Amino acid sequence: MEKEYAIRVENLVKKFNHDVAAVDGISFNVEKGEIFGLLGPNGAGKTTTINMLSTMLEKTSGYAELAGYDISKNKDNVRRSIGVVFQDPALDAKLTGRENLEFHSMMYGLHKQEREERIKEVLALVELTDKAETLVEKYSGGMKRRLEIARGLIHRPKVLFLDEPTLGLDTQTRRHIWEYVKKLNKEIGTTIILTTHYMEEADYLCERIAIIDHGKIAALDTPEKLKEVLGGDVISLKVSGDAAKFMDKLKGFDWIKGIKPHEGFIDLSVENAEKRIPEIVCLAPQYSIAISSVNLRRPSLEDVFLNYTGRTIREQEGDGMDRARMLMRHRT
């Protein structure tokens, strides 16, 4: 059976002032009904990609279509086919939840009876029916995000973009939002494109994930297959001393499948990790290395990100912001 795609992207490029490539020839497809994740630091190209797919930014070259429409030639049809939940709040705090939805549905040209039906439907979906007449300024952070998701769904889009939907929320509220996202995807079949800095969020929600770094896709697969690439468990060592010399020695062992240093730690991808820890600890003093802590765990998406980019996503935040500022300077 041939796959049906909600999004197709081929060699998509976005340059600013013809020289700085924010997105540098990426290609991927998103199946209908899929939850697809885009991971990467600020400035890596994921937000620029979403801005092109949602027609807010014109591409430099390449091809992309959404819901069967060319993003450059059929912008109105693309816009009618998408919903967007932005990272920054976009609600009117002086209106009630229902009034926010009413205003948004009117912008999409929904008639009165249809508006009333859709508002009732999406309020129930995100469990805000009893708060519909409450001013948004009295909503909690989690309630506001749920209302924004409801607003993004009011016109029944074929594709919903969620840009950092749980940023700044506490752990419990984030978990609730995850359940709502899973629920709407299952019950409505909406294709969802998720951008996030929370690796556990992407691992829990996404069927496939693309890691974007410096405008290119560094890896693309299911979360489990991405983690399998590391080839074993991860031993994380907090070290002091000549780490470079120690790592050179460790590279000579065939049971060590990967070595990545970061923030005073050395992460090792190791086969039969439990049996190898004593050997590593005994070897360290020979190279004037002091090990102050040892942690053994299964590979995570954070480890995958580190493997493909050389740093954790948190370490990339600063560089990402610098890159974003550089791109903005080239735009102006």
Indicate whether 324 pLDDT > 80.
no
Name the token pair of 255.
């049971």
Residue 43 CB neighbours (<10 A): 25
Each residue's pLDDT tens digit, 162-209: 988 888 888 888 888 898 889 888 888 899 999 988 899 999 999 999
Classify each residue of 1-13 as buried b or exposed e, where b means 16 or more C-beta atoms within 10 Å of its C-beta: eeeebbbebeebb
- pTM value is 0.81
Q: What is the 3-state secondary structure (H, E, C) of 15-83?
A: EECCCEEEEEEEEEEEECCCEEEEECCCCCCHHHHHHHHCCCCCCCEEEEEECCEECCCCHHHHHHCEE
Counting every residue written for the chain, the total comes to 332
| Dihedral, 102, 47, 31, 184 alpha carbons, nearest 10 | -40
Confidence bin at 327 (pLDDT 50/70/90): very low
Cα distance between residue 301 and residue 92, in whole Å: 36
Bridge partners of residue 96, in order along the sequence: 135
Each residue's pLDDT tens digit, 121-175: 999 988 899 999 999 999 998 899 899 999 998 998 999 999 888 888 888 888 8
Cα distance between residue 217 and residue 26, in whole Å: 6
Confidence bin at 326 (pLDDT 50/70/90): very low
Alpha helices (runs of H) in the chain, residue ranges in sequence order: 46-53, 75-80, 97-107, 112-125, 141-153, 171-188, 199-205, 223-228, 243-250, 273-283, 301-309, 313-331
| DSSP string covering 180-209 | HHHHHHHHH--EEEEEES-HHHHHHH-SEE
Could you tell me whether strands 5-16 and 82-85 are parallel, antiparallel, or unpaired per DSSP bridges? Answer: unpaired
Confidence bin at 328 (pLDDT 50/70/90): very low
Structural domains of the chain, with CATH: 5-226 (3.40.50.300), 231-298 (3.30.70)
Cα distance between residue 153 and residue 118, in whole Å: 9
Each residue's pLDDT tens digit, 302-314: 889 888 887 666 5
Question: What single-letter amino acid sits at 76?
Answer: D
Q: What is the mean pLDDT of the chain?
A: 88
Indicate whether 61 pLDDT > 60.
yes
C-alpha distance from residue 63 to each of 13, 59, 249 (Å): 9, 8, 47
CB 9 within 8 A of CB 72: no
Tokens 């797919």 correspond to: 53
Each residue's pLDDT tens digit, 249-266: 999 998 998 898 888 899
pLDDT mean over 260-278: 89
What's the confidence (pLDDT) of residue 330? Answer: 42
Q: What are the φ/ψ torsions at residue 29 (nearest 5 degrees)? A: -125, 150
Each residue's pLDDT tens digit, 27-47: 999 999 999 999 987 788 888
Cα distance between residue 294 and residue 95, in whole Å: 53
252's CB contacts (< 8 A; 6+ apart) are none
Name the token pair of 310.
């050389």
